[in-house]
Amino acid sequence: MRMTFATYNIHRCTGWDGRYDPERIIGVLRELDADVIALQEVNSRAHEGLELLNWFAQETKLRAIAGPTLLRHTEHYGNAVLTRCTEQEIRRVDLSQPGREPRGAIDLDLQCDDGHLQVIATHLGLKPAERRVQVQRLLERFGTKHCILMGDLNEWFLWGRPLRWIKALFGDTPALPTFPAVCPVFALDRIWIRPPGTLIQMDVHRSDLARRASDHLPLKAIIEL
């Protein structure tokens, strides 16, 4: 069974031109046509009469799973997952560190046709010490089934300890630049897959629309279970 996974930091639907335009994000999501999409920097403001994530789900015909990390009276903000699969269990993980922006992850058990897999979607912190703690906590959560770790890891240093720890569990995965969208240099957005050998293809989605819609480009992987 082949499946497509993607991770995409939508930057609150604001592109490099400074324009807030969720319609562009919807266009990119349709281009991706993925079975599971991890989203970061999703806010809850309304669009077309619906809360933004629900509108994404309606327009893409995918299930929506919210993982807000910052709760406000005016709007919420954080992670989300869109998927064609059926969620069996949802665990929302608080990865926040004292004095830093709240961070978290969505830990899912999914059933996709006859396949079962664990997916953790996350957006890690900006400080190296912060990411070290967060990665250790996430790696402790993985079981023995098919596993996917994806999201905006914010890891600028390819030789840093967090990536070495992830590689020890998942093996090597291509580090493809996704940021900044107009001329990507840094591989901040990553998809890690276990067991090794299930990855068929991994690419950065480089459409003209994706370059305009956010400050990150989406990362897309095809795997075979």
Tens digits of per-residue pLDDT, 164-184? 999 999 999 999 999 999 999
Pairing of strands 115-123, 146-152: parallel
- Interatomic CA distance for residues 146 and 160, integer angstroms: 25
The reported pLDDT for the residue numbered 49 is 56
> The domain that contains 164 carries what CATH number?
3.60.10.10
Can you give the pTM of this predicted structure?
A: 0.95
Encoded tokens for 30 = 């349709």
Looking at residue 170, its amino acid is: F
Q: Supply the range of the domain harboring residue 115.
A: 2-224
Question: Token match 């996917």: residue?
Answer: 148
Q: DSSP character for 87?
A: E
How many independent structural domains does the chain possess?
1
| Burial annotation 88-120 (CB, 10 A radius, 16+ → b, else e) | eeeebbebeeeeeeebbbbbbbbebeeeebbbb
Token reading at 218: 């989406």
Report the alpha-carbon angle 198-201-203, nearest 5.
140
What's the mean pLDDT in 198-202?
95
pLDDT band at 48 (very low <50, low <70, confident <90, very high): low
